[in-house]
Amino acid sequence: MDAMYPRVAGLDIHKKLIVACRIIPGAGAQAQREVRSFGATTAAIEDLGDWLAEGDVTHVAMEATSVYWKPIFNLLEDRFALVLANAQHIKGVPGRKTDVKDSEWIADLLRHGLIKGSFVPDRAQRELRELSRYRTSLVRERASVANRIQKTLEGPISNSVTWLPMCWGSPAGRYWKIWWRVSPIRRSSPGMLAVR
């Protein structure tokens, strides 16, 4: 089978290790394969990019492994044509599995054009998604804390306070001041600042 891309690389990504297989044209019709391991730090990923550029690699494929692919993609996307592949679509042949074999298998599949890349939005869209997800988690955390506070406050004063459900809306400050004035906590804690 003819190679669609003559200069490719396959990456097998782990939390602290990246195994890269670079395939470039060699003497005659034989392709030259070289495998190296790199760390997962920013400096190591930049070294990986330099090593790939030395071989004039044009296309790089990697598995979408957890979130470990993200820093590699972010650092290399301006230098190479990157293909992020679904791990289910590029499973190797059954047998003994090693990181070197995986990276070679990924590189071979890419070389012959047999990997369909997953959709990866542009950098601005990815950053917006990350911020949106982070904001969503903060809102959920805030609601959880508010519910815990309300549950704690309802325990000792559940019969005498009817305004607790409203404490998280706009009049919250006024209600908290009223609660603080009548609170037994304030009388028993003279070192705490009074709310005015």
d(C-alpha 53, C-alpha 43), whole Å: 15
Classify residue 94 as exposed, middle or buried by CB count within 10 Å of its CB (0-12, 13-18, 19+): exposed
Question: What pLDDT is attached to residue 176?
Answer: 65
Bridge partners (DSSP) listed for residue 18:
13, 38
Are the beta carbons of 111 and 143 closer than 8 angstroms? Answer: no
pLDDT score for 11:
93
At 187 the pLDDT is 53
Q: What is the pLDDT of residue 119?
A: 87
Residue 120 pLDDT: 87
Going from the C-alpha of 176 to that of each of 5, 182, 190, the distances in angstroms are 67, 10, 18
**In a structure prediction context, what are the per-residue pLDDT tens digits for the chain, which is 196 residues long?**
677 889 999 999 999 999 999 999 887 778 889 999 999 999 999 999 999 999 999 999 998 878 889 999 999 999 999 999 888 777 765 555 677 888 888 998 999 888 888 888 888 898 999 999 999 999 899 888 877 877 776 666 554 455 555 555 556 666 666 766 776 665 555 554 444 4
CATH topology of domain 8-120: Nucleotidyltransferase; domain 5 (3.30.420)
- Name the E strands within the chain: 8-13, 17-25, 31-39, 59-63, 81-85
Residue 195 phi, psi dihedral angles, 5° rounding: -90, 135
**C-alpha 58, offset from chain centre:** 25
Q: Using alpha carbons only, give the angle 94, 118, 108 rounded to the nearest 5 degrees.
A: 45
Secondary structure percentages of the chain, helix, strand, coil, to 5: 45, 20, 35
Helix ranges, 42-98 (H): 42-54, 69-76
